[in-house]
Amino acid sequence: MRRLSRWRSAASLPPGLDLCGESGLLDVTSGEASAEAAKPLPEPAVSDMPLLRIEGVAKSFGNFRAVDKLSLDIRAGEFFALLGPSGCGKTTLLRMLAGFETPDEGRILLGGNDIAQVLPHERPVNMMFQNYALFPHLSVRDNIAFGLRRAGMARKDIATRVAEMVALVKLEGLEKRKPDQLSGGQRQRVALARSLARRPQVLLLDEPLAALDKKLRESTQGELMELQRRLGTTFIIVTHDQEEAMTMAGRIGVMDAGRLVQVATPRNLYEAPASRWIAEFVGDINLFNGQVAARENGRLTVSTAEAGTLSVSELWPPVTKEVVSVAIRPEKVKLSRRAPASDEGGSHAINRLEGVVSDVNYLGGVTSYRVKLETGAVVRASMANTARLDVDAYLAGQRVVAWFTADDCLVLEQ
């Protein structure tokens, strides 16, 4: 736990605000010892030495720089997600790890050995392809056994391992089927079993769930996590779906234009994004541009054109620029009919914005509101529907106060 928390909590949080360390997330009432005991989920064994070290790796296609001097350490047993918009270079990076592309510069160290120039069939790394790339002329069994046969494994051992993999992905009884006789979900499992059969040190997954429908995707996410925990294999997944990355990965590397812009736990990525771009890319956020007017005791006063003067707790490291954006996630904006008393947010300063509800969207679990301020700016707020009867619901046209504490918002350089 202690070792975990070292890489789990990024440097961008203020000293007093540890979002997922022992005192923050896991243990609210008692001390550190019970936090150890109350560990909700078994975490994979994580050692200090990185299993995979990517050092200054760059790759261009013609004039297009797909990956730009990227460095990253991934520890053994991690579930790591590469997240980014399409064309950000995440797939190119994954293909360099698999050996399908050769880096123009930089090193890829696996267990201390540079594998940047090693051919794909000589790497202890396997990949699960986005389209699964199952061999259409081979049965499920032969697909799974393909890699084992190439490794020169004895017939008897191959049969044992295939049976083991088939059981692992719950495909019993389908061994003799050809890929075109399987459903999408079953094909996905065959691809997973095939890529895991050789017991790779690192499993690369290229958008593994993109072809599945929503329900199946969610259940498969859980199964993938369970599998990864059980096997202890290092998983590196490439995805453009932030929810998927947040659900499954212990750490997420966000890529943009060939660079890693932030590497953090899902929580830190969401609550302490390193830049305005990341704040907008991951989840929904309200942004108000403004100027730093005052700075005292870790508290900034920012004067904005759209939302007046806002009070914000400063993150670490502090912003150096005067022109900033104040960012607040919609679920942290509360709505009330009258302005809350100053102690309603505890001892924290409260920002109050008066406006009129312009739009109400009922989404089942939450309702999202748009509140139009007098300046014309719109604040989005979302509230969990915790009661079946909508006693707390606001109607369009109603006058409300949207409020949030200084601790709940972020200040980001523009």
Partner 1 sequence: MSARRIFARPARLAAIAPYLWMVLFFLVPFGFVLKISLSQTAIAQPPYTPVFDFTEGRAALAAFAQLSFDNFKLLISDNLYILSYLRSLVVAVTSTLILLLIGYPIAYGMARLPQRWQAVAMMLVIVPFWTSFLIRIYAWINILQHDGLLNQILLALHIVSAPVVWLSTDSAMYLGIVYSYLPFMILPLYATLSKMDASLLEAAGDLGASPLQAFWLVTFPLSLPGVGAGALLCFIPIVGEFVIPDLLAGSNSLMIGQTLWLEFFTNKDWPVASAAAVALLLLLVPPLVLYDRLQRRQLEAGG
Minimal distance, residue 160 CB to partner 1, in Å: 18
Q: How far apart are CA 81 and CA 250, in angstroms?
A: 8
Nearest approach in angstroms of CB 192 to partner 1 is 13
Closest CA to 253 of 97, 57, 117, 89: 89
Q: Segment 43-102, which members bind partner 1 (CB under 8 A)?
A: 98-100
266-305 positions binding partner 1, by CB under 8 A: none
- What is the C-alpha R_g of the chain? 25
Minimum distance of partner 1 from residue 32's CB (angstroms): 44
Residues 6 or more apart whose CB falls under 8 angstroms from that of 21 comprise 5, 8, 9
Among 2, 121, 338, 388, binds partner 1 (CB under 8 A): 121
Out of 90, 141, 161, 198, the only residue in the binding site for partner 1 (CB under 8 A) is 198
Q: Give the number of other CB atoms < 10 A from CB of residue 399.
A: 12
Q: Which stretch binds partner 1 (CB under 8 A): 194-202, 296-304, 348-356, 402-410?
A: 194-202
Which residues, including other chains, have CB under 8 Å from residue 257's CB and lie 6 or more apart? 65, 68, 88, 89
Closest separation in Å from C-beta 166 to partner 1? 17
Nearest approach, Cβ of residue 137 and partner 1 (Å): 5
Compare residues 100 and 362 and give the one whose CB is closer to partner 1: 100
Distances (CA, A) of 88 to 59, 132, 240, 410: 12, 22, 10, 25
Beta partners for 205?
128, 237
Helix (H) or strand (E) holding 216: helix 214-231
Binding mask 122-161 for partner 1 (x = CB under 8 A): ---xxx-x-x-xxxxx--------xx--xx----------
Q: Applying CB under 8 A, what is the total number of residues that bind partner 1?
A: 23
Structure tokens at 111: 């267990």
Question: Considering the complex, what minimum distance in angstroms separates the CB of residue 178 from partner 1?
Answer: 10
Enumerate binding residues for partner 1 (CB under 8 A). 98-100, 119-121, 125-127, 129, 131, 133-137, 146-147, 150-151, 194-195, 198
